[in-house]
Each structure stands twice: as C-alpha cells, then as structure tokens.
Amino acid sequence: MTIDWANFTPWASLSGGILLGVASAFFILVNGRVLGISGISGGLLPPKLGDAGWRVAFLLGMLAAPLVYGLLAPEGFVQAPRIDAGFATIVAAGLLVGLGTRCGSGCTSGHGVCGLSRLSPRSLVATLAFMGAGFAMVFVVRHVL
C-alpha cells in the first residue's frame, strides 16, 4: 500500500464529516429520526399516508445542496464528480446498491455514521460487510481484471 498524498484532503474531509455528524445529531434530537439515506428514500416505495412528508422534505433539502454549495464554497472547493464508470457499470452498481441497502437495512449514513455513533454491534457488522466488499470489489476491478 502506498498513500496517495496528492489527493489527500484531511481538513476538507474532516470538516465535511463534522457537518454530516451535526446533521445526524440535529435529526435525531430535533426530529427524532435516524439519518439514513437508503431508509429515508426506500420508505417512499410506496409512499404511506402520513409518513411521506418528512422524507420528501429531507430529500428536497439534499437536492438543493449543490446550488447552495456553489454559492457558499470558496473557489477550489467545488469539485465536479469524476465518474469513470460506463453506463452499464453504473446501472449494475445502482441495482446492487438498491437491493443491498434495503436487504441490509442501511447504508453508509444509517449504519456507518448513525449506527457506529450509537455503538450498535449490528451496524458494526453491516459496516464491516459493506466496507470489506467495497475494498474487495475495487481490488478485483483494478488489480485482478
């Protein structure tokens, strides 16, 4: 293993992480909800009466983020997503992420941030599973195939 110092952004990543933590803290304490993106969006399939409004409000806030970020962020902090995968790979990835997050009841936010913050053994197992599979997939794609 060699460290990729050229792309290493500890301060931006730490600051962004703190924002994710503040959002998760606010959501559980003020709204009484666990901030998990796959759970929030998956709960709209299909929408249930009286349970859709908070999900939609949250997702609309997320969709507004790039616009607000463009206005607030200093120059050099706006990095357009670099997406190297082709369309077929993107579709396969989306299907796996959709199936897997619903089957495992959570993703990087619900298990990885909120679950580990709660010291939940269940979320630790889920996080180890998806991180392990992520490392393995990149290893296979970049170094084996």
Residues 36-95 close enough to bind other proteins by CB under 8 A: 37-38, 41-42, 45, 53-54, 57-69, 72-73, 77, 79-85, 87, 89-95
Q: Which of 29, 49, 75, 145 binds other proteins (CB under 8 A)?
A: 29
Question: How many CA atoms, within 13 angstroms, populate the side-chain half-sphere of residue 97?
Answer: 13
What are the φ/ψ torsions at residue 100 (nearest 5 degrees)? -65, -40
Which residues, 115 to 134, sit near other proteins by CB under 8 A?
A: 115-122, 125-134
* Joined tokens for residue 14: 């730490």
Nearest approach, Cβ of residue 140 and other proteins (Å): 8
Return the sign of the alpha-carbon dihedral for residues 91, 112, 27, 31: positive
- 49 vs 142 by CB, closer to other proteins: 142
